[in-house]
Every structure is written in C-alpha cells, then in structure tokens.
Structure 1
Amino acid sequence: MLELLRSVWREPRPAPAPPRVWRDWVLVGVLVPVALLEGLLRPDLSWRALSVIVSTGLVATLLWRRSRPLLMVVVGFGVATVVSLVVGADFPKQNVLVFMVLLPYSLFRWGSGREAVLGVAVIAGKIGLSSVLGYLTPGDALGGVVVLAFVMALGAVFRFRSRARVRELDQVKLLERERLARDLHDTVAHHVSAMAIRAQAGIAMANSDPDAAVDALHLIDAEAARALDEMRGMVRLLRTEADLSPGPRVADLERLASRTRPPIDVEVVGDAGGLPSPVSAAVFRLAQEAVTNARRHAKHATRIEVRVVVDESTVRLRVSDDGDLRQAGSPGFGLVGMIERASLLGGTCEAGPNAGRGWTVTAVLPRAAS
C-alpha cells in the first residue's frame, strides 16, 4: 500500500494539454447566462446578489481547468467553503454549479499525482466541514462523495486511455525505425558488395586493360555516392526528434552506481574504450534497464552487481541482485526491448532467477556488431 501511495504521489502530468479548447469557451458562454438567469428568476434563492456573483465568477475556472487543475479546484471549492462559513449555510445553492464536477475530473485527467492527492484533500475538507457544521445532511454528503468519486475515476480512465494511445503510437514509431535500420543495413550491404566486386574486377584487369580498371573506379564512385545519399536520407529519418548528442557508453556505467539504495557495484574487465559505439551504447542501455528492473522488483535486495567483461570477440554483461525470488512469467516490455536490442546487434539477452536468491540478466554481444 505504501508503494502504491508513493507511485501515485510521484505520478507526473501526462503530455501537455492545450491551455483551453473551444469547448471550454462554449461552456463559459452558456453557463454565465444560465447562472445570471437562475439568479434573477429563481424565487427561493437566498443571498441573491452574492449567489449570482459567486456562481458567475466560478464559471471562469473552466478556462484554466486543463493547465491549472489543482489551482482551479482550490479556487472553486475554497471559495464555496469560505462563502458558506460567511453566510452560515451551504452556499451557493444554484443548480448551475453542477459544472464544478468538471474540476475534479480535470484534476485526475491532466494533473500530476501530487496535485490529485492535494486536490482530493481540499474537496474532502470542504465536504467534511459542511457535514460537521450541519450544512449537509449525511445522505447529501454521501451522495456528493459518490458522484465526485465517479467523476474522478472517469478522469483517471481517460487519462490512462490517452497514455495507452500514446504508447501505441510510440511503439509504431519504434517498429518503423527498426525497419528503417534494417533497410539501411541492407542498402549499405548491397552497395558495398557491389563496390567490392567492381574493385576486384578492376584489380584483375589493371595490367591487361587499364581503361577497364578506370571504368571500374567510376562505377565504384557512383555506387559510393548512391550509398551515401540513401544512408544519409535514412539516418535523417531515424534521427527525427532524437537527441543528436553522444549517448552514454560503457564508461558511463559508474553513473548507475551513484543513485540511491540498494548500492550498485560496477566492474568493467578488459578494454571497453575501443568498442564500437553501437555496442558500447547497447551495453549501457541493457545495464540501465536491468538495474531499473532490479530496483523495482527485487524486494529486500541489499546489492546489485553489474559486471562487464570485454575480450577480443565478445562483450559479456551480467547484472545480478540478491533480492527475493520473483516468479518467472511472460517477459515484460523492458525485457522484450532488451532482447530485441541485443538481437539487432547479433547478440543474446536472457533473464531468470538465481539458484538461491536474486535475479540475473545476462547479455552477450559480438564486439563487432553484426
């Protein structure tokens, strides 16, 4: 339960929402006249002028409910609480204020976990205070809690549905980039093979037919130009919206050890400085993902060991913890990504429980990535 509360508290905001959309303006344009008409025409309305001013003013919170959901909840329910204390009754009582259920919805739809917890505290404080002071009957208070809980759950459902949609789109992009990477490999391999054949032919005919050797050089030059053009075009696609700065390497593994508990022991055996960039970057990413999984799932772990062994032909990575055994099941998305990354470089990646305690991830990559 404590871990659940921590995860909720640390939940970030979803992708930035637009500050306001046309529907917000329409709601404000409709609700303001309705609030004015209800305030003027409803015969049983007490504190008429104050009620109209408060209700029409609170309608404006809808314009910032996406970008400032917690602030709007505090303003809406805080103002209602203060005015209720001033007049000594649940206030205001205009039916148009049903629009305030949109504020808790927006809190769970676009707010962070921390904002959601604080907003729920504000709302619960308002309902609890009104109940204690006798402004609300127990039945009304319970009904309000049920309605608001449903609205907040609805906001959370739409939030995670939107996030799932974003993940699906990201997955499609990743798969497309993988196809582009394979196309790039095939294209470069084709042109390089053609250049090698032309070079061999030119060498064989250099003594007997110099002109044929020159023609072979021209063909090699044309093949090289085409290969470079196609490779640059695909690399531009692969790097779209990507960070072009140098990525982390094996030498950066010490950064993993600088984090919080459990402590991480990092050991690199062999010359890792001469590794090709794709292999070195893959070793770091695999170790990073394995350490993240260990921190997340290895209960009661006292240490995590990261060991990289580099020899003349292969790079071996081993990440092991001493936490409680986890049940082996279908691999999660993190392990699937690790296996895919290793296989793209011609290597392997496996994970499973140790003989006694803990879990181990092992990856073997060829030093010259295939």
Structure 2
Amino acid sequence: MRRALQSVWAAPRAAHPPGPLARDWVLVAVVIGAALLEGLLRSDIEQRPLEIVLVVAIAFTLPWRRVHPLAMVAVAMGVKSVVVAGIVASGGTVVGLTAGVFVLVLLYAVFRWGSGREAFGAVGVVALVVALGFRRDYTSIAELLPELAILTLPALAAVTVRALSTSRTRDLERVRLAEREQLARELHDTVAHHVSAMVVRAQAGRVVGATDPSAAIDALAVIEAEGARTLTEMRVLVGALRQGDDPALLAPKGAGDIASLARATGTGPTVEVSSTGDVDGLHPSVGAALYRIAQESVTNATRHAVRPRRVRVDLVVDPDVAHVAIVDDGEPVAVERDRPGYGIVGMTERVSLLGGTLTAGPGVQRGWVVEARVPTTGVRP
C-alpha cells in the first residue's frame, strides 16, 4: 500500500492540458443560465441573490480547470464554504442550488489532468470542507456516506479516462518508433551502398594515380559526389530512431512495386494502379515510403471501407515532388475520424521524416482518400 501511495504521489501531470476553450465558455453560460432560472423558480430559497451570485462566481473557474485543477477546486470549495458559513452565522438557511453540481467537473479535472500531489491536495481540500461543515450539515456518518460516494464518481471516471488516454499515447509512440526504425534500416542500406562506392573509387584512384593522374582526379570527383549525397541522406538517418539488435536487412519495396498492388479479381474490390513520371529514379527511401503508404491504404480500404467496388492508386512523380493518392468508392463516410488509426499515424511519421505531408479523410462524395506528397530527394526542404 505504501508503494502504491508513493507511486500515485509521484505521478506527473497529464501532458499538454488545454487552456480555456470555446466550449468552456459555453459551459459557463449554461451554468449561469441554470442558476438564474433555478433561483427565480424555486420558492424555498431564502438567500436567493447570494446563492445565485455564489454559483455564478464559482462557474468562472471552469475554463481553467485543466491547467490549474487544484487551484480551481480550492477556490470553488473555499468560496462556497465561506459564503455558506456566513449565511448560517447570520441565521439564514442554506438550500443550495442544484446548478452547483458542476463542482464535480472540477474534481474530475484534478484527477484527469493534475499530478499525484494535486490529487492528494484535492482530497485534502474536500475533507477539510466536509469536516468544517459536518456538524452543521449532517447528523451522522450515515448521512455523509452517499455524498462521499457521489464525490468519488468523478475521480473514478477521470482515472479511467486518463489510463485509456495514456495507453493510447504509448501505442501511438510505439507505432512512430517502429516506423522510424524501419526507415533507419532502409536508409542504412542506401548509405552503405554509397560508402562502398566511395571506398572502391578511392582504391582504384590509388592504383592508377601514379600512372594516370587524370583517372585519379575522376575518382576524386566521384568520391566527392557520393560523399555529398551520403551526408544528405545521413541527415534523415540521424532523425530516425533505431532500437534493438541489428536484424537481417531485407531489400525494401520501392515505388516501382506499387504496380504489384493492382488486382482485377478476387474477393475484395478491384485495385487499379497508374503511374506517371520517373518512378524508378526516385530516392530509395522515398520509393519505399510511397509503397508502404499505397499498400497500407489499399489494405485499409479492403478491410474497412463499406462495400467498395474499386480502389484507385495514382502515382505522379514530378522533378521535385512525388505525389500518391489512394481513393476508394465505398459508401460515404459521415464524419472524419477524431483520432487517426495506428496505420495512418505510422504513414504520417514516415512521410514527415522525409519532409513530406500526408492527409487522410472522407472523399467529397464517397469513400476515403489518402494523399501524400514527398520530396523526390528524400530530405527535408
């Protein structure tokens, strides 16, 4: 138990909590409207203006609940306790507006976005408020238990959501690292090829240099060109991550292999492939990336599109940019996915490492469209 508590205490805050959003102000407006409406319609409220002002004031903590969760809980609970204590001290009766239930949203935010220390702090704030008002609000522990159960629900929901979000983030990171590792392996072969050519040319230059100086000069020119190209490709290699032991390196597929994805018969949709430009002259890493994108997109269309009859792959290679588009004619997709699948994440990571861009979303009329644009040199511009 001690280790578990220490682990929770040391837990960091959730990464990149969003600040005030447009929907937060909509929520504030809804809470204020509900408080005004409830205050006007309920006849059992003695301190009507004060209780309405209390709820409205606390409602303005909502937009900052993700970036300052503990502070917002402390402000809300503290202001509420002071006002309630003042009403009771003056001989009044506190009924409480139902609109104030939004305080549960603040408690949810602490456990969803805050650190372990902030979570413990929120528990302490709630415990202090309950302890100070126990004799005033409750006659026994049994009366307190249902309220404590209600206060626990947002914490449990927040912990569950946070765990799912953390799990997905780790899965996405594994996909990105795996894609970078694969790219590093492919670039390893390319760089090794250029270095081998440089070594062979250098050895030849040493042999013929004494008898034919011009041949040695030609060898140096080739070494210079190969060296410059290798340095350029190394910039990409440095940006890619590689993990684990060195596996056996297999020759990667290239852009010319996209034609092998064409399929006119079978259980799935027809796959049509067209290409324009110097496909075979593409940089190996670019060709491998384009093939992976086309292969992944065709597979996704076959598995996930709704009743597609045809998948079209169009590859266009210009002098500076290679463009590939994969379009299926499945039934219309109602909305774009809020979170991309792991396959799209992997494709996007590979394209971005090569200085390109990738988009994926519903077609104008039907199906799903994946488009990628990658510099033919295979390096960031």
TM-score by length of 2: 0.57
Aligned to 1:272: none
Aligned to 1:108: 111
- What is the count of residue pairs matched by the alignment? 239
**Maintained 8 Å contact 1:84/1:92:** no
User: 215, 218, 222: which is aligned to 2:218?
Assistant: 215
Q: CA deviation at 1:238?
A: 5.9
User: 104, 121, 124: which is aligned to 1:118?
Assistant: 121
Q: Are the structure 2 counterparts of residues 136 and 195 from structure 1 closer, same or farther at C-alpha, using a change threshold of 3 Å?
A: farther
Aligned to 1:165: 168
Aligned to 2:31: 31
SS in structure 1 at match of 2:79: helix
Could you tell me how far apart the structure 2 residues matched to 1:37 and 1:136 are? 31
Could you tell me how far apart the structure 2 residues matched to 1:234 and 1:185 are? 8
Could you tell me how far apart the structure 1 residues matched to 2:138 and 2:56 are? 22
When structure 1 is superposed on structure 2, of 109-118 and 73-82 the one drifting more is 73-82
User: 225, 229, 250: which is aligned to 2:228?
Assistant: 225
Instruction: Look up the equivalent residue of 1:55 and give its one-letter code.
Output: V
Aligned to 1:19: 19
Could you tell me how far apart the structure 2 residues matched to 1:90 and 1:208 are? 109
Instruction: Look up the equivalent residue of 2:154 and give its one-letter code.
Output: V
Alignment of 1:148-159 (within 5 A): 148-159=151-162
When structure 1 is superposed on structure 2, of 175-184 and 224-233 the one drifting more is 175-184
Q: CA deviation at 1:90?
A: 7.5
Aligned to 1:293: none
Could you tell me how far apart the structure 2 residues matched to 1:53 and 1:192 are? 75
Could you tell me how far apart the structure 2 residues matched to 1:135 and 1:142 are? 10
**Maintained 8 Å contact 1:70/1:119:** yes
Matched, 1:94 2:97: yes
Alignment of 1:1-370 (within 5 A): 1-88=1-88, 91=94, 93-135=96-138, 138=141, 140-206=143-209, 209-236=212-239
**Maintained 8 Å contact 1:80/1:91:** no
SS in structure 2 at match of 1:67: coil
**Maintained 8 Å contact 1:194/1:223:** yes
Identity %: 46
Aligned to 1:309: none
**Maintained 8 Å contact 2:184/2:240:** no
Instruction: Look up the equivalent residue of 1:67 and give its one-letter code.
Output: V
**Maintained 8 Å contact 1:65/1:107:** yes
Q: Are the structure 2 counterparts of residues 92 and 67 from structure 1 closer, same or farther at C-alpha, using a change threshold of 3 Å?
A: farther
**Maintained 8 Å contact 2:138/2:144:** no
TM-score by length of 1: 0.59
Q: CA deviation at 1:50?
A: 1.0
Instruction: Look up the equivalent residue of 1:172 and give its one-letter code.
Output: V
Instruction: Look up the equivalent residue of 2:176 and give its one-letter code.
Output: K
Could you tell me how far apart the structure 1 residues matched to 2:77 and 2:66 are? 17
Stretches of structure 2 that go unaligned for 5 or more consecutive residues are 243-381
Instruction: Look up the equivalent residue of 1:190 and give its one-letter code.
Output: H
Aligned-pair Cα RMSD in Å: 2.5
Q: CA deviation at 1:65?
A: 0.9
Post-superposition Cα deviations, 1:18-74, rounded to whole Å, max 9, x if no partner, equal 121222111001111221121122111121111111111111111221111111111
Instruction: Look up the equivalent residue of 2:40 and give its one-letter code.
Output: L
**Maintained 8 Å contact 2:46/2:93:** no
Post-superposition Cα deviations, 1:325-363, rounded to whole Å, max 9, x if no partner, equal xxxxxxxxxxxxxxxxxxxxxxxxxxxxxxxxxxxxxxx
Q: CA deviation at 1:187?
A: 2.5
Stretches of structure 1 that go unaligned for 5 or more consecutive residues are 240-370
